[in-house]
Amino acid sequence: MDLLDVSLVNWSRAQFTLTAMYHWIFVPLTLGLGIVQAIMETIYYRTGDEEWKKATKFWMTLFGVNFAIGVATGIILEFQFGTNWSNYSWFVGDIFGAPLAIEGILAFFMEATFISIMFFGWNKVSKKFHLVSTWLTILGATISAFWILVANAWMQHPVGMEFNPDTVRNEMVDFWAIISPFAINKFFHTVWSSWIVGALFVLGVSSWFLIKKRDVGFAKKSIKVAAAFGLVASLLTAVTGDGSAYNVSQEQPMKLAAMEGLYKGQNGAELVVFGILNSEKKAYNDNVDPYVFKIGIPKALSLLGYRDINAFVPGINDIIDGGYQTKNGVALSFAEKKEKGTIARQALSDYKKAKTANDTIAAAEHNAKIKANFDNFGYAYLDSPEKSIPNIALTFYSFHFMVMLGMFFILIFGVFTFISFNSKYDPEKYNWLLWVALLSIPLGYVASQLGWIVAEVGRQPWAIQGLLPVNAAVSAISTQSVQITFFLFLTLFSALLVAEIGIMLKQIKNGPNHE
């Protein structure tokens, strides 16, 4: 048997990163803009005001262009679990496959059916049926997000399953456990933050119309909807962001430590508001100060992570050395986890041999060992403690920039809501503010991508938290094959992105009155 090349794992990760990040350029706008256009059509339905219909159709055209490329970049993600992560697909496919199938049955067909009526049915179905179709299209997209986020949350917090040594995989034993609080919070945080992207897009584009002093009535209407919608979304995102951080601290302490650059744990730990990491720090245990500079809020990390201002928050060193108290007892060190993981893996090997030899007594003994140690099965594949630490700088800076941007979004939506709903003020008169809104469009995308970097880089090396690291999840193909498809995807997706941006700009330039 050939040995797997380390570069294969890295290239497979790179390809998944590339395709997921490209896909995620388009999904948040779909989720956010879909709601904005549905709100506008609802107003049109209730008021009969043709201006609202015109506004709805304008944003719908942009939605359509964005949706198409979202579909194009999405198909590869589902199949990539098989093509590039085949071991993963078997090891947890019994649980992970179900949300993907449900997504297809319940969400994709809803989207595909009603989007057709939404685009082509203006003169073919009643106003009411059309409005329902517009809402069902975005409902379908949101249900799709729900199931894929349930699947993702399960990878980060695997529950509701048992390992079966006969089939060598994890098997579902509790369907409802999979839709865990972790998953629910992740869903709302992701979807509501996507609404921000949609709202910022509408706000920024509408501001451009005001800067250019054209289609003023349409732009002001759109700003009203976007500002109020964006304010609600950004406040809800902040609340669920807190929920996400709480879940991470409970289930993924290493990720939390990476997000905060926390090496040495403490009671009453401070929350770093702003910090610069020390590039001289080369190893987790070299005693070099991890920060060059930082501003923090005392005890806030303990409060947010454990709902107790004096709670102990473990740092990277603590997690590797173990010995601190957790809700499940005393934390194990990396060495202890590796030992347990190795015992479980060896027991699995022995179990298979005992089964082949029809030695049921020995098989039962080995099975008991597997069960006792399975929680740390994945550690058997990690060579050293360093392999269990994610990229600190990337996780830390991504997290902090994301939070800063989140605060900025609350501010900008708050200001625009105040101005656009208060008759004393006229957004047209605040040119600088309109420019801020316009230039903020990319920031929504950046924040959304940063959120995924925190979630996915922060959980490395795990494909399934604690059970399967990425180096044991990959398919046995050549590195060159993955390199070729990586560059094919890069070229194709970049070319399509350029086309999408070109079309979007042209459509915006044409404006809502272009027939």
Partner 1 sequence: MFTYSFLQHYWWFIISLLGGLLAFLLFVQGGQSMIFSLSKDEDERRLLVNILGRKWEYTFTTLVTFGGAFFASFPLFYSTSFGGAYWVWMAILFCFIIQAVSYEFQSKPGNMYGKTTYRVFLFINGFLGTILIGAAIATFFTGSEFTVNKANITEQLNPVISQWANEWHGLEALLCVRNWLLGLAVFFLSRTLASLFFVNRLNNENLEKRSRKAVLVNAIPFLVFFLSFVIWTLLSEGFAVKPETGEVYMEKYKYFFNLIEMPVVLILFLVGVVGVLWGIIGTLLKESFKKGIWFAGTGTVLTVTSLLLLAGYNNTSYYPSTADLQSSLTIFNSSSSEFTLNAMTIVSVMIPFVLAYIFHAWRSMEKKRTDIADINSDDHAY
Residues 45-74 within binding reach of partner 1 (CB under 8 A): 57, 61, 64-65, 67-69, 71-73
Nearest to partner 1 of 117, 438 (CB atom): 117
Tell me: does residue 474 bind partner 1 (CB under 8 A): yes
Least gap, CB of 346 to partner 1 (angstroms): 7
Least gap, CB of 109 to partner 1 (angstroms): 5
Rounded to the nearest 10°, the torsion over CA 376, 381, 386, 387 is -100
* CA distance linking residue 112 with residue 126, whole number of Å: 19
Least gap, CB of 366 to partner 1 (angstroms): 11
User: Which of 17, 51, 93, 243 forms a contact with partner 1 (CB under 8 A)?
Assistant: 93
Tell me: does residue 82 bind partner 1 (CB under 8 A): yes
Nearest to partner 1 of 148, 257 (CB atom): 148
Nearest to partner 1 of 4, 394 (CB atom): 4
Binding string, residues 356-395; x marks residues near partner 1 by CB under 8 A: ------------------------xx--------------
Least gap, CB of 493 to partner 1 (angstroms): 8
User: Which of 85, 252, 95, 84 has its CA nearest to residue 164?
Assistant: 95
Least gap, CB of 322 to partner 1 (angstroms): 23
Binding string, residues 416-455; x marks residues near partner 1 by CB under 8 A: ----------------------------------------
**DSSP letters for 186-204:** HHHHHHHHHHHHHHHHHHH
Least gap, CB of 254 to partner 1 (angstroms): 22
Q: How many residues does the chain have?
A: 515
Least gap, CB of 55 to partner 1 (angstroms): 14
User: Which of 11, 44, 81, 334 forms a contact with partner 1 (CB under 8 A)?
Assistant: 81
Tell me: does residue 41 bind partner 1 (CB under 8 A): no
**Burial of 358 by CB count in 10 Å (0-12 exposed, 13-18 middle, 19+ buried)?**
exposed
Least gap, CB of 80 to partner 1 (angstroms): 8
Binding string, residues 116-135; x marks residues near partner 1 by CB under 8 A: xx-xxxxxxx---x---x--
User: Which of 48, 49, 109, 357 forms a contact with partner 1 (CB under 8 A)?
Assistant: 109
Asked whether 134 and 38 are in contact (CB, 8 A), the reply is yes
Residue 14: half-sphere exposure toward Cβ, Cα within 13 Å? 17
Asked whether 270 and 225 are in contact (CB, 8 A), the reply is no
Task: Map the footprint of partner 1 across residues 328-357, applying CB under 8 A.
Answer: 345-346, 348-349, 352
Asked whether 356 and 362 are in contact (CB, 8 A), the reply is no
Cβ neighbours around 140 below 10 Å, total:
22
User: Which of 18, 20, 36, 76 forms a contact with partner 1 (CB under 8 A)?
Assistant: 76
User: Which of 94, 336, 359, 428 forms a contact with partner 1 (CB under 8 A)?
Assistant: 94
Nearest to partner 1 of 20, 259 (CB atom): 20
User: Which of 184, 232, 394, 496 forms a contact with partner 1 (CB under 8 A)?
Assistant: 496
Residue with tokens 């409970």: 250
Nearest to partner 1 of 159, 300 (CB atom): 159
Binding string, residues 175-214; x marks residues near partner 1 by CB under 8 A: x---------------------------------------
The alpha carbon dihedral of 312, 313, 318, 319 has a sign of positive
| 188: its two tokens | 């709302």
Least gap, CB of 230 to partner 1 (angstroms): 26
Beta bridge partners of 294: 275
User: Which of 243, 193, 259, 241 has its CA nearest to residue 449?
Assistant: 193
Tell me: does residue 511 bind partner 1 (CB under 8 A): no
Least gap, CB of 65 to partner 1 (angstroms): 6
Q: Binding segment for partner 1 among 206-214, 279-287, 387-395, 504-512 (CB under 8 A)?
A: 504-512
Nearest to partner 1 of 264, 506 (CB atom): 506
Tell me: does residue 488 bind partner 1 (CB under 8 A): yes
Instruction: Print the SS3 string covering 59-123.
Output: HHHHHHHHHHHHHHHHHHHHHHHHHCCHHHHHHCHHHHHHHHHHHHHHHHHHHHHHHHHHHHCCC
Rounded to the nearest 10°, the torsion over CA 51, 409, 255, 398 is 100
Tell me: does residue 396 bind partner 1 (CB under 8 A): no
* CA distance linking residue 344 with residue 351, whole number of Å: 10
* CA distance linking residue 293 with residue 394, whole number of Å: 17
Cβ neighbours around 183 below 10 Å, total:
24
* CA distance linking residue 1 with residue 458, whole number of Å: 32
